[in-house]
Amino acid sequence: MVHGWPDLWFGWRNPIQALSSMMYRLIVPDVRGFGQSSTPQSVESYGAKNICNVLIALLDALEIAKAVFVGHDWGGHMVWRNCLYHPDRAIAVCGVCNTYDPPRKKYLPLWKRLSTSSTHCENFRKWVFDRLVSLLDTLMAVDSNVDHLMFTQRSTLLSEAELNYYIEQYSASKFFSTCQTYATSKIEFQNEQGLPSVINHPALYIGAAKDEVLRPKMAKGMNA
């Protein structure tokens, strides 16, 4: 089970309880760059190919030939890609919120993607640039917009103890290494040249109806 950003293995705590009670063996690591995992500083250490290689190395260390891979958010991207990089090690795959996006045939920097009609990019643009609090204000301001609900309204998804666990883990690993995946688009493109575009494994996509970023409509075009 592969978590997304900004998260930890801990993001799977509720599914862990449900699935372990059904006697499934679960492997739920902190992804490279997060929590108690290693946090290399070079961008070359990240990207789907490297993360997938780490996941397979973990299976090797545990002497597991094949597994069902489940991922949320960026973790979903990783498990979809794992079926392309290591097809013989996956029994099946499940992406939670993150849809399968085939390898690109042409490299486009992020700023150019934002001007295309891609559903991914349109949703990203709306989320970042159409918010009441602009991206620039959010990144540069120290004491402005502090009364915005984005910052003051407590989430009902986390208890005080759970929030403190995230604070503790991110205080140790920091955010820099967790953001490296966002800088790997060119590395990803180069690594993916020659990969197939079709996943032949049994696959499940689970969308969240109220997800404002990874909206279920992004699954349009995913063919069975």
pLDDT tens for residues 67-97?
A: 999 999 999 999 999 999 999 999 999 999 9
- C-alpha distances (whole Å) from 109 to each of 68, 114, 179 are 32, 9, 17
| Domains of the chain and CATH, by start | 9-219 (3.40.50.1820)
Confidence of residue 120 (pLDDT cuts 50, 70, 90): low
Query: What is the per-residue pLDDT for 83?
Result: 98
- Residues 199 and 197: their CA atoms lie apart, in Å, by 7
Lowest mean pLDDT, pick from 34-38, 49-53, 120-124: 120-124
Dihedral angle over CA of 83, 175, 107, 69, nearest 10: 10
- Would you say the C-alpha torsion 187, 74, 122, 219 has a positive or negative sign? positive
| Greatest alpha-carbon span in the chain | 52
To the question of pTM greater than 0.85 for the whole model, the response is no
